[in-house]
Structure 1
């Protein structure tokens, strides 16, 4: 029996030894590789962050059969969709594609819509067909088909972004226009728990591999667009009615709404080469630094600057408020996690650092680190990945495997 078959048998018998990536990293310094190979069966990995290449394929009921021939335009909660490719002639049902980066307004886009569908919220549908308009109000679970896809996700290496010009720049990489003169840095990537950092050759992420997408069971389609040997990534899909809204949503940037997506994977410890890949740590993961002007690399840092000893939650102290009017924090929170009182809605909070950066008082505090570059130490003002949710999806995958509810 092969080592992989042994692991599958242990999973079936519900006695597999499963560790999250973080748990495994803690054992690296305490155990020899041979012992880890004997004592651990599976390591789970995860990531959560802005993934622009996310889209959904939906079937949307609009009106009784025979009401219209075929849709010319469609919006859901104001978010524009692309009808087709199947016209569903005279069925009153519209097949469509919605991009995660499509915008209904500066504060609501495809990512917000996907979260509302998964959370079974009410959706307002508007269709134009042959010069006439049709409307319907449905819920997310009324959709007979709703599947989420990514064209590229979970990059092995993301980049840090700075702005070396003299003036601020609006970009998808910043919550507010990114300050010039290399005064601010924004970062992405969950570092040492990222699925592809731990499986850089995509050995266990081949087409058809089961994974978690936004907390629901999904599958790897194959390598994603812009994937390369140096910076591999994957394309995935999953059924939206199995997903958890806590793992996804919209993220507001200075260039408009973006889309949040989470992915969890499992790596069976079948040989020493797997152990070698799993030994990766934040301090040894290179993080290229690019100028927003041309997206060309100008320097390099590492992920320990982002995740080692930095804030996992935001500290809130109303006594530090100096009564700014308007409150820049509430206005600019990318995930709308600041309540009217100023308190943080931790169920929505992404721990991105925007509130800490913008608060003129000391209401919101936390250490978000800096990048040591030739220009000096540049403070990180925005994290577009949430390590907390990445850890959470690792733990979810671990529990599913231990219960025998997720198969390799």
Structure 2
């Protein structure tokens, strides 16, 4: 019906019809797929959830005399420095270093990234490898995002296409990457936005690929590759949506453009730090099939209920549950009613899609053609063997 070039022409003339995923689903229910496909040009999706496989590339700039950094801390959080002399990679889930006996600091790389994006001062402490080129041995300073060179997020794994529901069938409290799970099925936690989540509206990755322009942390970002743990061969329902964790994406974006409203450090008790991140993906309405996929509702999407009390890579499940049931706040497990909470912020996920919609309507955000499709045949390899050296 239309091409991305034609949609971009309408965006540039501020004539594009843009709906959020939530709005599109309601419109399809009222008017049908064919009518919506003729009228709508773009649907925006969004999520705001913990994405711990994230981090920032930072170039400090050279000191005088120069230093070749080999150990570095940003506000006490170790940053990787094993490449260029003053290049760093700060992982979102890296915790602040603690001295023995010191009170626990619930802080890590995600908090430092948030502070830099917010324009706050961050303390740098570095140790160098002294060479003829780089004679300086140590360096300490305070930096902001305005006093460093490159500062961009480069995230190896973001926006899971579906995930799990965590429960605890054991006898003691468990502290997990989903937060606290109470014993004896005391609660359940899920972390995907369901029907408004980006990749559940493009289940076969026909629209999203390498080079796709996205909303990332309040700025413009791009899809750079498949994400780590990318598993598109996950079992799927007849509507093509996966029944558990499936595709993932690697993302990149200029952190100097971002807004700390959409990039927030967080901390999970007895687990560690992470990063709450807003990601929005625009999907071009190229034909009716796109509308059919985007019309999927929470009742048509499922996730596995996984028991974290079994400390194994493959844990037992209590079957599948729909996102409609999850969002109701109660699910039933083996005849027992269990209260449910989302780790994802459903409110802010909707706001991400809404803000991206406004960018496109204002003519400030064009769509891009993927330069390459994301692989759809990747298997998932566990570590089942250990080699002794």
The bucket for the TM-score relative to the shorter chain is 0.7 to 0.9
1:343: which partner in 2? Answer: none
> Which of residues 323, 330, 335 in structure 2 aligns to 1:370?
330
Question: Displacement, 1:99?
Answer: 0.8
Question: Displacement, 1:271?
Answer: 0.9
Q: 1:297 to 1:42 in 2, by over 3 A?
A: farther
**In structure 1, C-alpha distance between the alignment counterparts of 2:121 and 2:350, rounded to whole Å:** 30
> Which of residues 297, 318, 321 in structure 2 aligns to 1:301?
321
Question: Displacement, 1:9?
Answer: 1.9
**In structure 1, C-alpha distance between the alignment counterparts of 2:69 and 2:9, rounded to whole Å:** 51
Superposed, 1:171-320 pairs within 5 Å as 171-174=176-179, 176=180, 178-229=181-232, 230=234, 231-254=246-269, 255-292=271-308, 293=310, 294=312, 296-298=315-317, 299-308=319-328
1:391 alignment partner, SS class: helix
Stretches of structure 1 that go unaligned for 5 or more consecutive residues are 88-93, 309-368
Question: Displacement, 1:3?
Answer: 3.9
Q: 1:233 to 1:67 in 2, by over 3 A?
A: closer
Stretch deviating more after TM superposition (161-170 or 45-54): 161-170
Q: 1:375 to 1:127 in 2, by over 3 A?
A: farther
Question: Displacement, 1:142?
Answer: 1.6
User: How large is the Cα RMSD of the aligned pairs?
Assistant: 1.8
2:153: which partner in 1? Answer: 148
**In structure 2, C-alpha distance between the alignment counterparts of 1:279 and 1:150, rounded to whole Å:** 29
Superposed, 1:6-21 pairs within 5 Å as 6-21=6-21
1:390: which partner in 2? Answer: 349
1:38: which partner in 2? Answer: 38
Q: Note the alpha carbon deviations across 1:11-49, whole angstroms, 9 max, x for none.
A: 121111100111111112101211001111110000110
Query: Residue 2 of structure 2 contacts residue 285 of structure 2 at CA under 8 Å; is this kept in 1?
Result: no
Question: Displacement, 1:5?
Answer: 3.3
Question: Displacement, 1:67?
Answer: 4.7
Question: Displacement, 1:212?
Answer: 0.8
Query: Residue 42 of structure 1 contacts residue 267 of structure 1 at CA under 8 Å; is this kept in 2?
Result: yes
1:325: which partner in 2? Answer: none
2:83 alignment partner, SS class: coil
Q: Which has the higher contact order (CA 8 A, sep 6+)?
A: 2
Superposed, 1:92-171 pairs within 5 Å as 94-104=86-96, 106-130=105-129, 132-171=137-176
**In structure 1, C-alpha distance between the alignment counterparts of 2:110 and 2:25, rounded to whole Å:** 32
Query: Residue 116 of structure 1 contacts residue 140 of structure 1 at CA under 8 Å; is this kept in 2?
Result: no
Query: Residue 305 of structure 1 contacts residue 371 of structure 1 at CA under 8 Å; is this kept in 2?
Result: yes
Q: 1:371 to 1:106 in 2, by over 3 A?
A: farther
**In structure 2, C-alpha distance between the alignment counterparts of 1:64 and 1:110, rounded to whole Å:** 23
1:241 alignment partner, SS class: helix
2:49 alignment partner, SS class: strand
Number of residue-to-residue matches in the alignment: 337
Stretch deviating more after TM superposition (248-257 or 110-119): 248-257
Question: Are 2:25 and 1:25 aligned?
Answer: yes
Q: Note the alpha carbon deviations across 1:211-236, whole angstroms, 9 max, x for none.
A: 01111000001221111223112111
Q: Note the alpha carbon deviations across 1:267-304, whole angstroms, 9 max, x for none.
A: 11111210111111111110111111335351211111
Q: TM-score, normalised by structure 1?
A: 0.79
Stretches of structure 2 that go unaligned for 5 or more consecutive residues are 97-103, 131-136, 235-245, 368-389
**In structure 2, C-alpha distance between the alignment counterparts of 1:84 and 1:140, rounded to whole Å:** 22
**In structure 1, C-alpha distance between the alignment counterparts of 2:161 and 2:90, rounded to whole Å:** 26
